[in-house]
Amino acid sequence: MAVVSHGGFRAAARALDVSQGGLTKSIAALEQEYGVDLIERSAKGVLLTPKGAAFVPLARAIVEEAERAEGWLRAQSGELSTSVSLGVSIEPSIRLAPAVLRDFRKALPDTSVHLTQGVALDLLGALRENRIELAVIRLPRNFDSSDLKVQRLYQSEPVIVGRAGHPGAGAASLRELVKYDWVVVGDTSRQGAMNDDSIWELFDREGLGRPRFAAVCNSLLSIVAMLMESDALARVPRALLDHSLARRNLIPIPVAEPPVPYWIATVHKASRRLSPEAQTLNAMLSSYARISGALSPERRPGEP
């Protein structure tokens, strides 16, 4: 893991405070024992082989679990406070996370929450690699959940938005908006981010081709800033319009084509038992989604 993250044996050995020769021999012994080449050495440094690239997420998951176990033991001895790693996509980061985390901190003041905001597919990858323990996300269309536990909370819907005073504000049809640049909400590091659900639902379904893309953004602030300073448009959670950052700066553009509803859900690995703290947080997210007056009738709670 250190060789991969530091880009070479010398830097990895320095970070681990071991000899470079000893580290090289350890990896060579691992490769020889299992008959698998994990790393290619070249003049430019080290590169992962295809099998090495497949092995890294598995190794990272083991390291994360070992660190989690060590953290638990330290917490039992009073040496370290407990923590929960939570991933949130844009909609729940606005509608659920602030209120629930406030109440969670009151209930468990000695437990810290490590919060990661991102798009759903990125957070699902983080779950599978044990980089986060729990996620509350918009469920992607047609994703494989066979290794996950999914609890649907409520349905929501997207809306097309642009800056206040946008020249396309009076558009009655999506066809009138094709000429503008669009901002895609997606994972900026993932190849094919332009092919996310928003583009499929908006343009492919209506047979309108593909619009011009201005940017791919994965954070609330970057989306709002990009839209405020240009004539670009985006399809975002309707909840964004209730946020103080966007309330006076962005406007909805209600076109004739109906939006496709989607589910917000909590997700965690089926093979990984949630810590007691994460179980509490999961239950609080579910309860808040059921009883919160912030949910309008069309955002109805899902089955438990």
Angle at which helix 9-16 crosses helix 20-34, to 10 degrees, equals 110
Given a cut of 60, whether residue 262 has pLDDT beyond it is yes
pLDDT at 271 over 60: yes
Residue 197 contacts residue 203 (beta carbons within 8 Å) = no
What is the Cβ-side half-sphere exposure of residue 290, based on CA atoms within 13 angstroms? 11
Specify whether the CB–CB gap between 257 and 206 falls below 8 A: yes
Q: Which of 107, 105, 109, 139 is nearest to 123 (CA)?
A: 139
Report pTM: 0.68
Specify the CATH superfamily of domain 83-155+262-291.
Answer: Periplasmic binding protein-like II (3.40.190.10)
Q: What is the pLDDT of residues 219-229, one digit of tens each?
A: 778 888 999 99
Q: CATH 3.40.190.10 residue ranges in the chain? A: 83-155+262-291, 158-252
Bridge partners, residue 252, by sequence: 161
Given a cut of 60, whether residue 84 has pLDDT beyond it is yes
Contacts with 14 (C-beta within 8 Å, 6 or more apart), sequence order: 6
- Listed in sequence order, the residues at least 6 apart from 40 whose beta carbon sits closer than 8 Å to its beta carbon are 46, 47, 48, 49
Q: Are 195 and 260 in contact, with CB atoms under 8 Å apart? A: no
> Yes or no: is domain 2-76 CATH 1.10.287.1770?
no
Residue 239 burial (10 A CB sphere; 0-12, 13-18, 19+): buried
pLDDT tier at 197 (50, 70, 90 boundaries)? low
pLDDT tens per residue, range 234-245: 988 888 888 888
pLDDT tens string 13-68:
665 556 777 767 777 777 777 788 878 776 666 777 888 778 777 777 776 666 66
Give the percent of the chain with pLDDT over 70.
78
φ, ψ of residue 238 to 5 degrees: the values are -60, -30
CATH class of 158-252: alpha beta
